Amino acid sequence: MTGSVDQTGAGRGASSAEVRQRLLEIAAHMVREQGAPALSARKLAAAAGTSTMAVYTHFGGMPGLVRAMVAEGFRRLFERVAAVPVTDDPLQDLRNAAAAYRAHAQADPDLYMVMFGSATLGDHRLHREDRIVGLDAFEQIKQFMQRGMAAGALREADPAAVAAQWWTALHGFVMLELTKFIDVVDDAEDTVLWPLMDHLLRSLMVTPGPPEPGVFRQ
Amino acid sequence: MTGSVDQTGAGRGASSAEVRQRLLEIAAHMVREQGAPALSARKLAAAAGTSTMAVYTHFGGMPGLVRAMVAEGFRRLFERVAAVPVTDDPLQDLRNAAAAYRAHAQADPDLYMVMFGSATLGDHRLHREDRIVGLDAFEQIKQFMQRGMAAGALREADPAAVAAQWWTALHGFVMLELTKFIDVVDDAEDTVLWPLMDHLLRSLMVTPGPPEPGVFRQ
DNA sequence: GTCCCATCCATAACGCCGTTATGTTCGGAC
DNA sequence: GTCCGAACATAACGGCGTTATGGATGGGAC
């Protein structure tokens, strides 16, 4: 039953891929505007002017639609971080990448929570293959670290390990910020995020800078 | 039997507080064993041998039950971290506290995700008052930092800010670990968690230790 | 041009969910 | 004994994801 047709062949009036894309966009909009619990197959179908069956023909069900949203979310995160310009100051590039990463999460907070397995969005959890789509974004960070080492700014180390440490700190702040737990302190961006990233980077540098860091911005 | 019946003065056979506690325990057990989505008022009532109305008389609904579970989860996290012995080595105390915090999250991962606003568990999100119940646990970390400064091991700084940085890094790792995203690297405990905490601590110390850290355990 | 049939989707139903309205059953106060 | 009110059973309502069924459509084979 392997319908050869596949990518182009099927469909009528509005092509199959168009309906699929339309459903994804509307679903993302609903999550962004009204939060993850507001997304349902029925409301989505109503907003798209179709029936719930469209979700099943294109995504196999709500979990499939969520997986497609997650993949798209990671693709955009990757784009966003990849758009950070590469300068001759690898450390500043890392700071800019952190700012871009955080800005992306803030622009679509509920999608970020869905991407990282929280906010289960109904029932089904993410599978292994849903997680590896985030690898591109992680590779991006590894390359920043490798550039820092090649430029002699960072000590030689396993780029994956160092990138994971950087990502862990950043993800921790983003999550605490999105869930509002970071409000236990005032002015968290200047007292927590940038000092934390600065402390980490300084420990990774070959020649740690001045012990009292000027809080760097952006 | 009822005996004292204490403050409420209500109830019959099994006292009101007993039923309430029983529902909480069974709900926590269901979340721990079968994940957050497996918890429902109907299944909980069936497991407790009562009707769904018990959830409403005692908690006002499922969101109220979730809030009670979150409060209990923070209370136990506080207990667990507070049980870390205070020695004359504040830095080692902080490492032990991190290990205890992580162990607590690993022992009940789904509850940890619910506590931190992820895994919305049905619908309702956490309110402000649900979040401040975590303040006790945060105060605990602040005290560790203050001890480190008083002992001359850590540089003088705002204990709240420093504690938040430490918490951010730790929470980030715990979340990435629970969602399995940290599997992008091998041996994450030794290549990410402890090096990250070590790098942060070393930047906070008055006299940074040897540049190449022996990876500390436990 | 004609036929064929895979594809897409509308409709309706099933079982689950949280929640609510209503009635019943008690323990304790008087 | 009488009464009150808290605690719970029962049943219903609307919404959810999902599935079964059938009708419409349009491209490919001939």
Q: Which superfamily is assigned to A69-218 in CATH? A: Tetracycline Repressor, domain 2 (1.10.357.10)
Give the span between the Cα atoms of B82 and A197, in whole angstroms. Answer: 27
- Residues near chain C strand, CB within 7 A: A 1, 3, 5, 10-12, 14, 16, 19, 45, 49-54, 57-58; B 2, 5, 9, 11-13, 39-43, 52-53, 55-56, 61-63, 122-124
Give the span between the Cα atoms of A218 and A196, in whole angstroms. Answer: 14
Mutate to test the interface with B, among A168, A186, A189, A207 (most CBs of B within 10 A): A168
Q: What is the pLDDT of residue B207?
A: 75
Give the span between the Cα atoms of B126 and B123, in whole angstroms. Answer: 10
Give the span between the Cα atoms of A176 and B164, in whole angstroms. Answer: 10
B213 pLDDT higher than 90:
no
- Taking residue A210's Cβ as centre, other Cβ atoms within 10 Å add up to 7
CA angle (A217 as vertex; A163, B153 as ends), nearest 5? 70
At B137, the pLDDT band (50, 70, 90 cuts) reads: confident
B46 pLDDT higher than 70:
yes
Q: Is B62 on the interface with A (CB under 8 A)?
A: no
Domain regions of chain A by residue span: 13-60, 69-218
B120 pLDDT higher than 50:
yes
Nearest CA in chain A to B138: A184
Give the span between the Cα atoms of A55 and A51, in whole angstroms. Answer: 8
**Contact A117/B118, CB-based, under 8 Å?**
yes
A39 pLDDT higher than 70:
yes
- pLDDT tens-digit profile of A62-89? 999 999 999 999 999 999 999 999 999 9
Distances (CA, A) of B150 to A94, B94, B153: 34, 14, 8
Query: In this structure, is the CB of residue B46 within 7 Å of any atom belonging to strand D?
Result: no
B200 pLDDT higher than 70:
yes
Distances (CA, A) of B36 to A124, B58, B64, B114, B122: 11, 20, 15, 8, 8
Of A164, A181, A203, Cβ closest to residue B199:
A203
Q: What is the pLDDT of residue A120?
A: 59
Q: Which nucleotides of D are covered by protein (CB under 7 A)?
A: 5-11, 15-21, 25-28
A2 pLDDT higher than 50:
no
Give the span between the Cα atoms of A102 and A177, in whole angstroms. Answer: 10
Residues B181/A117, Cβ–Cβ less than 8 Å: yes
B131 pLDDT higher than 70:
yes
- Of B147, B122, B117, B149, the C-alpha closest to B134 is B117
Residue B195's beta-bridge partner residues? none
Residues B196/A168, Cβ–Cβ less than 8 Å: yes
Q: Is A35 on the interface with B (CB under 8 A)?
A: yes
CATH number for the A13-60 domain, one of 1.10.10.60, 3.20.20.370, 1.20.1290.10, 3.40.50.2300? 1.10.10.60
Distance of CA B207 to the CA centre of its chain: 32
Residue A61 backbone phi and psi in degrees, to 5:
140, 175
Give the span between the Cα atoms of A196 and A215, in whole angstroms. Answer: 10
Query: In this structure, is the CB of residue B106 within 7 Å of any atom belonging to strand D?
Result: no
Q: From chain A, pick out residues whose CB is under 8 angstroms from the CB of B164.
A: 182, 184-185, 188, 191-192
- pLDDT tens-digit profile of A151-186? 999 999 999 999 999 999 999 999 999 988 999 999
Of B117, B138, B172, Cβ closest to residue A168:
B172
Give the span between the Cα atoms of A179 and A102, in whole angstroms. Answer: 14
H-only helix segments in chain B: 16-34, 41-48, 53-59, 62-82, 90-107, 109-115, 128-131, 135-150, 159-178, 188, 194-204
Q: Which superfamily is assigned to B69-204 in CATH? A: Tetracycline Repressor, domain 2 (1.10.357.10)
**What architecture is domain B10-60?**
Orthogonal Bundle (1.10)
**Contact A175/B170, CB-based, under 8 Å?**
no
Q: From chain A, pick out residues whose CB is under 8 angstroms from the CB of B119.
A: 118-120
Q: What is the pLDDT of residue A126?
A: 67
- Tell me the Cα Rg of chain B: 21
Chain A to chain B, count of Cβ pairs less than 8 Å apart?
A: 160
- Of B189, B144, B39, the C-alpha closest to A161 is B189
Give the span between the Cα atoms of B48 and B28, in whole angstroms. Answer: 12
Q: What is the pLDDT of residue B2?
A: 34
Q: Is B207 on the interface with A (CB under 8 A)?
A: no
At A7, the pLDDT band (50, 70, 90 cuts) reads: very low
